């Protein structure tokens, strides 16, 4: 296979040399972020929360165990591109059906390898998430494209990833309606064990949700700025007090916004599978999977208690309402990929529904 030389250029002028892989495109643009997982690259790439972003993997060797449809978190990737230090030349796993390069080609996702990802990650930690462009084009063209890339602030990326029509999944005894802001397949599997789950588009009115007479409402993960999804915030306000609510990731931020909280953008976000979070009620430390660029501001929700906090930087990782049956966490208890420390939260959702709605 011939080498396709390529460049990565950030909007501040930083340049990295590499080799293209995946889909062949002259220029790929997006907001460049880094993820620290050691395994689970397929789950990361297919997470809809990466819409609008280019993913840098800090682990140096990517693609070594190939890909399998079982690990897809969505029907297709929504990420703009992938940056790696070294792309594995061959896959080695009994589970794999194909290699990562072919997977990216099939889905139209470009990648660039041979990048000094340690240098890039240090730069992102210093400057924060930044727009970038990569491809076979010349440096000037890539720099212009990087500067023109708007990033994720103030853009409704949820509209790009949500389902078009409602669908039903799962066979559990409860009835739950899940808002699809970019919902992951692993979340569907966990919720499907608790309930017959009806997944609805992100813009579904609250009245339509309540008309389905659910035992609970789930607010999923998703990409981008919660402030740009104001229609979801208004619908959540109308649901609070009417039905138990559980939110994860963007769902956590939207629940916070519905309660009057401020949200803000983190410098370079939390993306990885090893973030320590303290559960305030017990003092226990959970190792968690995270993927978000925005967060709920501490002290901005007078009617809710903070239940979890990030031990790296103090970011609010969980809230529970005092007067209505609703709670949420910023991290990913479904662990797709990541540790399983927080899977008890799905049981807490079941307990909340039982307390409010009675036995299933």
| CATH classification of the domain holding 51 | 3.50.30.20
Q: Do 196 and 331 belong together in one domain?
A: yes
What does DSSP assign to residue 157? -
Domain termination site, one of 88, 113, 148? 148
Q: Do 162 and 122 belong together in one domain?
A: no
Q: Do 97 and 198 belong together in one domain?
A: no
pLDDT exceeds cutoff 60 at 1? no
Res 325: pLDDT:
98
Share of the chain above pLDDT 70, in %: 99
For the segment 130-154, the average pLDDT, to the nearest whole number, is 97
Share of the chain above pLDDT 90, in %: 95
Q: What is the pLDDT of residues 312-323, one digit of tens each?
A: 999 999 999 999
Residue among 29, 37, 34, 53 at smallest CA distance from 222: 53
Structural contact between residues 244 and 356, judged by C-beta atoms closer than 8 angstroms: yes
Structural contact between residues 5 and 20, judged by C-beta atoms closer than 8 angstroms: yes
Catalytic residue flag (residue 334): yes
Count of domains for the chain: 2
Cβ burial 214-252 (10 Å sphere, 16+ → b, else e): bbbbbbbbbbbbbbbbeebbebbeebbeebbbbbbbbbb
For the segment 113-137, the average pLDDT, to the nearest whole number, is 97
Q: Which residues contact 191 (CB under 8 A, 6 or more apart)?
A: 170, 172, 176, 178, 197, 218, 346
For the segment 203-215, the average pLDDT, to the nearest whole number, is 98
Catalytic residue among 31, 149, 286, 334: 334
Q: Is residue 63 part of a domain?
A: yes
For the segment 34-59, the average pLDDT, to the nearest whole number, is 97
For the segment 270-293, the average pLDDT, to the nearest whole number, is 96
Q: Is residue 26 part of a domain?
A: yes
Considering the chain, what is the average pLDDT of its residues?
96
Catalytic residue among 249, 275, 308, 317: 249
Note the pTM of the prediction, 2 decimals: 0.96
For the segment 241-245, the average pLDDT, to the nearest whole number, is 98
Q: Is residue 351 part of a domain?
A: yes
CATH code at 212? Answer: 3.40.50.880
Q: pLDDT band for 358, please (50, 70, 90 cuts).
A: confident
Q: What is the pLDDT of residues 338-357, one digit of tens each?
A: 888 999 999 999 999 999 98
What is the DSSP secondary-structure string of 32-76? Answer: EEEE--SS-HHHHHT-GGGTTEEEEE-SSEESTT-B-GGG-SSSS
Q: Do 191 and 49 belong together in one domain?
A: no
For the segment 69-81, the average pLDDT, to the nearest whole number, is 97
Catalytic residue flag (residue 193): no
Catalytic residue among 190, 275, 292, 332: 332
Residue among 275, 274, 260, 257 at smallest CA distance from 317: 275
Q: Do 269 and 120 belong together in one domain?
A: no
Domain termination site, one of 148, 180, 211? 148
For the segment 108-117, the average pLDDT, to the nearest whole number, is 98
Q: Is residue 70 part of a domain?
A: yes
Residue among 332, 330, 338, 292 at smallest CA distance from 53: 292
For the segment 286-295, the average pLDDT, to the nearest whole number, is 96
Range of the structural domain that residue 56 is part of? 5-148
Q: Is residue 37 part of a domain?
A: yes
Q: What is the pLDDT of residues 157-201, one digit of tens each?
A: 999 999 999 999 999 899 999 999 999 999 999 999 999 999 999
For the segment 283-303, the average pLDDT, to the nearest whole number, is 95
Catalytic residue flag (residue 242): no
Pure H helices in 59-157? 100-107, 117-127, 139-148
Q: How many CB atoms lie within 10 A of CB 322?
A: 10
Res 2: pLDDT:
65
Res 338: pLDDT:
87
Q: CA–CA separation, 284 vs 225, rounded Å?
A: 30
Query: Residue 242 has which token pair?
Result: 């009417």
For the segment 111-137, the average pLDDT, to the nearest whole number, is 97
Residue among 338, 339, 299 at smallest CA distance from 316: 299
Report the SS3 class of residue 193: helix
What does DSSP assign to residue 135? E
Res 359: pLDDT:
77
């Amino acid at each position: 296979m011939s080498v396709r030389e390529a460049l990565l250029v950030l909007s501040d002028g930083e340049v990295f040399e590499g080799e293209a892989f995946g889909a062949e495109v002259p220029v790929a643009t997006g907001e460049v972020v880094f993820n620290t997982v050691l395994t689970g690259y397929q789950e990361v790439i297919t997470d809809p929360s990466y819409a609008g972003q280019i993913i840098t993997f800090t682990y140096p060797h990517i693609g070594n165990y190939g890909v399998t449809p079982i690990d897809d978190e969505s029907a297709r990737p929504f990420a703009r591109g992938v940056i790696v230090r070294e792309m594995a030349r061959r896959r080695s796993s009994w589970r794999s059906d194909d290699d990562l390069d072919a997977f990216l080609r099939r889905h139209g996702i470009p990648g660039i390898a041979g990048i000094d990802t340690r240098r890039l990650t240090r730069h992102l930690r210093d400057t924060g998430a930044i727009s970038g462009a990569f491809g076979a084009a010349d440096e000037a063209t890539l720099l212009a494209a990087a500067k023109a890339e708007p990033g994720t602030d103030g853009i409704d990326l949820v509209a790009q990833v949500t389902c078009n029509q409602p669908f039903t999944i799962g066979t559990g005894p409860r009835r739950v309606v899940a808002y699809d802001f970019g919902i992951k397949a692993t979340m569907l599997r966990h919720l499907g064990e608790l309930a017959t789950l009806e997944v609805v588009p992100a813009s579904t009115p609250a009245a339509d949700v309540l008309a389905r007479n659910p035992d609970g409402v789930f607010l999923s993960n998703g990409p981008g700025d919660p402030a740009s999804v104001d229609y979801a915030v208004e619908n959540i306000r109308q649901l609070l007090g009417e039905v138990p609510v559980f939110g994860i990731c963007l769902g956590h931020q939207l629940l916070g916004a519905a309660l009057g909280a401020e949200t803000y953008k983190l410098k370079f976000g939390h993306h990885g599978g090893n973030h320590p979070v303290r559960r305030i009620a017990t003092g226990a430390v959970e190792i968690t999977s995270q993927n978000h660029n925005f967060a709920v501001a501490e002290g901005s929700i007078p009617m809710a208690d903070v239940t979890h906090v990030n031990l790296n930087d103090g970011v609010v990782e969980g809230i529970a309402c005092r007067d209505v049956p609703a709670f949420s966490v910023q991290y990913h208890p479904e662990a797709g990929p990541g540790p399983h420390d927080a899977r008890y939260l799905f049981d807490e959702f079941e307990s909340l529904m039982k307390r409010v709605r009675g036995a299933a």
